[in-house]
Amino acid sequence: MSSDGPGRAVAAGASTAPDEKAAERVPRVLAADDDPDVLAALKLLLKAEGFELETATSPALALAALEKRDFDAALLDLNYARDTTSGREGLELVERLRALDPTLPVVVMTAWGSVEGAVAAVRRGARDYVQKPWDNARLIQTLRTQVELGRALRVGQRLEHENRLLRREGMPTMIADSPAMRPVLDLLARVSPSDANVLVTGEHGTGKELVARILHSSSARAQRALVTVNVGGLAEGVFESELFGHVKGAFTGAAADRAGRFELADGGTLFLDEIANVPLAQQAKLLRVLQTGEFERVGSSRTRSVSVRLVSATNADLHSEAAEGRFREDLLFRINTVEVRLPPLRERREDIPALAAHFLRAHARRYRKNIESLDAEALRALLAHPWPGNVRELDHVLERAVLMARGDALEAGDLGLRVSATGAPSLEQMTLDEVERVLIQKALARHGGNVSDAAKTLGLSRSALYRRLERHGL
Ligand SMILES: Nc1ncnc2c1ncn2[C@@H]1O[C@H](COP(=O)(O)OP(=O)(O)OP(=O)(O)O)[C@@H](O)[C@H]1O
Ligand SMILES: [Mg+2]
């Protein structure tokens, strides 16, 4: 791992590649039409709307322009003088431009009423179409959306590329480019190489475990084990022997000596997930090993010592848990030498296009489907959704959509997002399963993400709630 740390290495936001400023750059559009009046009108309109426009009066000139420089979008007429009605030249141009730059969003202009041409163009890789004479507002909106989508695809592709290189070193993929994530990336880059104990907080599905893996794989302990314990999933009473191990005969069922997770993580990292659920009675033992590195297996008096870096995660507010006496304050100050707060996805919507593109590629590869993009309507739906289940929910939505999709671009309908931007659907519109999901989300929100309390409110055991969380992808 370079001294730049994981923030720089794995996330676009923290690196300084030349195309970094793409998001702030004036969008550059290539327009091709053999009618100079059309090009003049486009120039006037696009300039006023903050675009830079380069024009070409023939397919050959359009290709030459793209060979010289990159564009954020291309706007092409389908009919050219040599062959004014079939649109064949225009369709060929779509294909050739896409071959030169597969991430270039192409929008075609068709004569009013000639939908067949538009359909044929979309089949060959055009992303959208407008009809002539065009509606100014709609044309601008279409171009803006395509520019944004194209940039997201490019960022996603570059991150994938960087990550492929990094995966050889075992670095997991993290996509984060939004202003809300920049401080997080900076913090990760600074603390990863150290041995500092890190507490990762954030709602369900925000990427806490992913952060734990990044912290481990970019630390000096990367070659040793990362051992994960889901404290929330441990039955009451087994915490101590799970963590510290036991000797034969220590309790009924202890048939042999067994090493605990602290011993397994010696030299490496221990990830304690859902740490708010450590029983109060066990918190003192945890504190001791964190202070001294020493512990005994259950049933043994021999003191063992280990070198373990602790990363813990919670979706509860440990400070208020401590204030209410459910979590030891001295333990809190031991585990949160550094606290990494992951913002919910709704506070970093800028990341949605790149995350969606990333999950789309991953699932398309996994299910061997030839799906390369999502259409503008689908992107709008993703951007409008409230994402109560955060990045994991986005991952699941894209997985389902890839499975459902029939075409080679995902459409809004494939996403199955029933909650509209304007609010939740009424009870009558929901299935029993969806109602359950909503009630669980509400209970979690009410208890600040504390699973035990939410389970109590719902009349479920904690493990029953965990099973449901998993099933609903929450
Ligand atoms: N920034 C990101 N870039 C790419 N993938 C991400 C990102 N954040 C999360 N993911 C993916 O989303 C899924 C959920 O993330 P993760 O399991 O780390 O969340 P979590 O906060 O631990 O959730 P929970 O609270 O439910 O345990 C994982 O598959 C993870 O790899
Ligand atoms: Mg987790």
Q: What is the pLDDT of residues 411-435, one digit of tens each?
A: 998 998 865 444 455 565 567 887 8
pLDDT given at position 24: 63
CB proximity list for 212: less than 8 A, separation 6 or greater: 198, 200, 226, 228, 269, 271, 273, 311, 313
Least confident interval from 31-35, 59-63, 271-275, 427-431: 427-431
What are the helix (H) ranges across 324-458? 329-335, 352-366, 376-384, 390-404, 412-415, 432-446, 451-458
Kindly state if the Cβ of 131 falls inside 6 Å of ligand 1.
no
Q: Are strands 269-273 and 309-314 parallel, antiparallel or unpaired?
A: parallel
Q: Are strands 106-111 and 73-77 parallel, antiparallel or unpaired?
A: parallel
Backbone angles phi and psi of 236, in degrees to 5: -55, 140
Kindly state if the Cβ of 174 falls inside 6 Å of ligand 1.
yes
Report CA(349)–ligand 1 centroid distance (Å).
Answer: 15
Which range, 93-107, 251-265, 339-353, 365-379, has the best average confidence (pLDDT)? 339-353
pLDDT given at position 45: 96
CB proximity list for 138: less than 8 A, separation 6 or greater: 130
pLDDT given at position 422: 44
Which range, 111-125, 223-237, 417-431, has the best average confidence (pLDDT)? 223-237
* CA-proximal residue: ligand 1, atom 8 (nearest): 207
Answer for the pair 6, 218: CB distance below 8 angstroms, yes or no. yes
CA distances from 20 to 13, 155, 209, 373 (A): 8, 9, 27, 22
Taking the CB of residue 392, how many other CB atoms lie within 10 A of it? 18
The pTM assigned to this predicted structure is 0.63
- Calpha distance 263→266 (Å, rounded): 5
Percent of the chain with pLDDT over 90: 52
CB proximity list for 45: less than 8 A, separation 6 or greater: 136, 139, 140
Residue, of 262 and 234, whose pLDDT is higher: 262
pLDDT tens column, 48-89? 999 999 999 999 999 999 988 889 999 999 888 665 566 788
Q: How confident is the model at residue 163 (pLDDT cuts 50, 70, 90)?
A: low
- Calpha distance 363→402 (Å, rounded): 7
Q: How many CA atoms lie within 13 A of 365 on its CB side?
A: 6
Residue, of 239 and 15, whose pLDDT is higher: 239
**Token pair of 391 as six digits:** 């990045």
Longest pairwise C-alpha distance within the chain: 92
Ligand 1 atom closest to the CA of 449, numbered from 1:
25
- The residue to mutate among 199, 210, 350, having the most atoms of ligand 1 within 8 angstroms of its beta carbon, is 210
pLDDT tens column, 339-363? 999 999 999 999 999 999 999 999 9
Kindly state if the Cβ of 210 falls inside 6 Å of ligand 1.
yes
- The residue to mutate among 209, 317, 355, having the most atoms of ligand 1 within 8 angstroms of its beta carbon, is 209
